[in-house]
């Protein structure tokens, strides 16, 4: 068994193919979609380094047997996920231990020198939960959720209040407004007429080979002419080889919430995915956001636990 550190130049296509094949075999998100790998490398890592944190992709490690990937560590900020090929489940214990030794720089040290090491595990993979609890990990109360929809099998319409319009990325050219709307959705305290967004992570995403097949979807307020008129925004990664899509990120500015605008945008995503031939579309949700996606027509596929251990 060979263990190697991920190299973007030489290993991306191989790792992408591995994740795609695992999805096609399992038909679920127990292994990352290649779309999520691209989001990590081309968007999130830029955001992490801008904040003074290490790149997550520098701590991707790959396990190979006979030059074929059978497992890997997939970090996302200060959290670690493991993808393991079916039939190689016994690797999990050694991969967790390897991560504890080799992925520490991703975690901030406490005053006493310890770190809060965080491992993410799908509940459908019960063997992972059993090992983590036996190995001293404690599951936090909040959960994460994988949610999906079959775009070609659902009938939706875009219903918006008067004065609002659904648009896709190519039909709206103010890129700063697009990405600012996302940041303002996550950080409403930034809302102001003078807010200017740092476009680094937005522009970095364009380096992804999936970018040409992917799209933005948003709702604009046609009554608001002077400031940011984008009130709801999302980006949809499309993998044409697996006919899947991943929506990441999704955000609605605070003053536009509870008006049906976010739901209308998600329905716009579903319609576009159906048009593009996407067979299954995913969105990940944390805690209460699952209710929003379920109301828009998505079904929860799996719950995901956050397991903590002081090391």
Q: Answer whether residue 191 shows pLDDT above 90.
A: no
pLDDT, one tens digit per residue, over 280-299 is 999 999 877 899 999 999 99
pLDDT, one tens digit per residue, over 41-98 is 999 999 999 889 999 999 999 999 999 999 999 999 999 999 999 999 999 999 999 9
How much of the chain exceeds pLDDT 70, in percent? 98
- Model confidence band, residue 225 (pLDDT cutoffs 50, 70, 90): low
**What domains sit in the chain, N to C, each tagged with a CATH number?**
2-144+305-310 (3.40.630.30), 151-278 (3.40.630.30)
Asked if residue 6 lies in contact with residue 56, where contact means CB atoms within 8 angstroms, the answer is no
pLDDT, one tens digit per residue, over 269-280 is 999 999 999 999
Which has more pLDDT, 182 or 193?
Answer: 182
Q: Answer whether residue 246 shows pLDDT above 90.
A: yes
Q: The sheet that has 116-122: what strands, in order across it?
A: 2-5, 61-65, 68-75, 80-84, 116-122, 299-310, 138-149, 280-286, 244-252, 230-239, 215-221, 164-168
* pLDDT at 88 (0 to 100): 97
Q: What is the DSSP string of 201-247?
A: HHHHGGGSTTGGG-EEEEEEETT--SS--EEEEEEEEEETTTTEEEE
What's phi and psi for 190, nearest 5 deg?
A: -85, -10
The predicted model gives 94-115 an average pLDDT of 96
- Model confidence band, residue 226 (pLDDT cutoffs 50, 70, 90): low
């Amino acid at each position: 068994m060979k263990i190697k550190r991920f190299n973007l130049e030489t290993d991306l296509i191989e790792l992408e193919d591995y994740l795609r094949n695992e999805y096609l075999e399992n038909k679920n998100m127990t292994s990352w979609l290649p779309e999520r790998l691209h989001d990590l490398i081309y968007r999130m890592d830029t955001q992490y380094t801008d904040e003074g944190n290490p790149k997550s992709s520098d701590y991707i490690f790959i396990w190979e047997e006979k030059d074929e990937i059978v497992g890997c560590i997939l970090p996302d900020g200060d959290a670690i996920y493991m993808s393991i090929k079916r039939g190689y489940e016994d690797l999990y214990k050694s991969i967790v231990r390897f991560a504890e030794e080799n992925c520490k720089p991703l975690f901030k040290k406490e005053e006493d020198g310890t770190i809060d090491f965080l491992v993410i595990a799908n509940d459908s993979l019960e063997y992972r939960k059993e090992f983590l609890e036996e190995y001293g990990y404690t599951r936090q109360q909040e959960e994460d959720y994988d949610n999906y929809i079959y775009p070609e099998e659902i009938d939706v319409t875009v219903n918006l209040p008067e004065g609002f319009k659904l648009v896709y990325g190519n039909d709206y050219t103010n890129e700063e407004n697009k990405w600012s709307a996302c940041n303002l959705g996550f950080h409403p305290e930034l809302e102001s007429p003078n807010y200017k967004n740092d476009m680094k992570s937005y522009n970095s995403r364009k380096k992804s080979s999936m970018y040409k097949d992917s799209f933005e979807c948003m709702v604009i307020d046609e009554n608001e002419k002077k400031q940011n008129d984008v009130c709801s925004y999302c980006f949809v990664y499309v993998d044409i080889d697996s006919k899947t899509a991943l929506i990441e990120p999704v955000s609605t500015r605070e003053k536009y919430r509870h008006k049906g605008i976010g739901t209308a945008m998600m329905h716009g995503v579903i319609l576009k995915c159906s048009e593009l031939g996407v067979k299954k579309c995913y969105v990940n949700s944390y805690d209460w956001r699952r209710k929003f996606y379920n109301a828009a027509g998505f079904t929860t596929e799996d719950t995901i636990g956050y397991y903590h251990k002081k090391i």
